[in-house]
């Protein structure tokens, strides 16, 4: 009997050991799973935190870039607005003189029409904020004339070499680069200083006005479906300037531009225009052009009536 009880006790002890071992292994496995899950959760949390921080940083960078872009655009717009304001102020000051000269000349020769002053538009080939500015457009039944006003003081030489008028200028000026078209202005800066300005090739007044007339014709065709034939003229309007110029400037392609000195030059040209047949513009076309230029903000007035 005693031996049987001892055997049973031994079996029970062995069973308890086996059960304890199984429990320990399961507990260790559970702890391992929990540790792995905790590590995975911590890794996921770290990744989410890093992703969130990256997203926040990216959003902040994008916001700062957008704010800076807006500031740059604002500064650019302000700069362009200020440049435009300054240019318009300069233009209006000198154009007031030339506008009066043109209106008076039209009245003197009896040439009725519409005088457009300060035409501003964006050229059709422009992909930026560049705008074209035309001083005057004179619309008559006989002709449509784009007039570039130059309110230049002092001595002006347009396609005329200064030394051909005053030989001493040959020793003062390098005339080798003066190939037509060109203009030279010698103007006073102070009581003791004079300044020499050279406008050669594309910078010459004649080329400038032809370029602007071409842009205007493209603009009118795009907006109105047609454009009149535009003739061109350069007007030197400063009353006390001394102008030495050829009456006509011609491009390599044969396009002519009248060069006008003050009211006398204007009167001669407009007298010739009045004598032409009134076939350049119909009354309806003239009125359509006047309304379009007015819609651009240009100053329009009837002259010569």
Nearest to 107 by CA among 282, 270, 300, 294: 270
Distances (CA, A) of 238 to 57, 190, 243, 261: 62, 18, 10, 9
Does residue 143 surpass a pLDDT of 80? yes
In angstroms, the CA 31 to CA 130 distance is: 74
Label residue 2 by pLDDT band (50, 70, 90): low
For 127-140, the pLDDT digits (tens) are 656 788 999 999 99
User: Average pLDDT, stretch 224-233?
Assistant: 96
Using pLDDT thresholds of 50, 70 and 90, give the confidence band for residue 105.
Answer: very high
Question: pTM for the full model?
Answer: 0.71
Predicted confidence at residue 34, as pLDDT, reads: 79
pLDDT cut 90: percent of the chain above it: 56
How high is the pLDDT of residue 93?
59
Most confidently modeled range among 139-148, 172-181, 183-192: 139-148
Query: Considering the chain, what is the average pLDDT of its residues?
Result: 86
CB atoms within 10 A of CB 265: 22
């Amino acid at each position: 009997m005693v031996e049987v009880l001892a055997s049973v006790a031994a079996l029970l002890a062995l069973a308890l050991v086996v059960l304890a071992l199984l429990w320990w292994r399961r507990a260790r496995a559970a702890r391992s799973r929990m540790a792995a899950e905790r590590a995975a959760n911590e890794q996921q949390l770290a990744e989410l935190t890093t992703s969130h921080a990256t997203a926040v940083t990216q959003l902040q960078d994008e916001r700062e870039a957008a704010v800076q872009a807006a500031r740059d655009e604002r500064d650019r717009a302000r700069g362009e607005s200020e440049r435009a304001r300054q240019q318009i102020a300069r233009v209006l000051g000198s154009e007031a003189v030339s506008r009066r000269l043109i209106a008076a000349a039209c009245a003197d020769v009896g040439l009725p029409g519409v005088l457009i002053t300060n035409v501003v538009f964006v050229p059709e080939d422009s992909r930026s904020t560049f705008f074209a500015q035309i001083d005057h457009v004179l619309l008559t039944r006989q002709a449509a004339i784009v007039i570039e006003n130059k309110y230049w003081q002092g001595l002006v030489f347009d396609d005329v070499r200064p030394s051909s008028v005053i030989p001493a200028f040959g020793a003062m000026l390098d005339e080798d680069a003066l190939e037509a078209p060109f203009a030279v202005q010698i103007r006073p800066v102070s009581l003791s200083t004079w300044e020499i300005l050279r406008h050669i090739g594309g910078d010459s007044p004649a080329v400038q006005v032809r370029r602007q007339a071409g842009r205007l014709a493209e603009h009118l065709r795009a907006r109105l479906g047609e454009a009149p034939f535009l003739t061109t003229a350069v007007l030197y309007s400063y009353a006390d300037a001394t102008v030495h110029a050829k009456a006509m400037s011609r491009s390599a392609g044969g396009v002519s531009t009248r060069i006008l000195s003050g009211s006398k030059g204007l009167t001669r040209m407009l007298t010739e225009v009045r004598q032409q047949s009134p076939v350049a513009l119909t009354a309806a076309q003239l009125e359509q052009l006047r309304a379009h230029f007015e819609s651009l903000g240009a100053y329009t007035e009837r002259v010569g009536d």
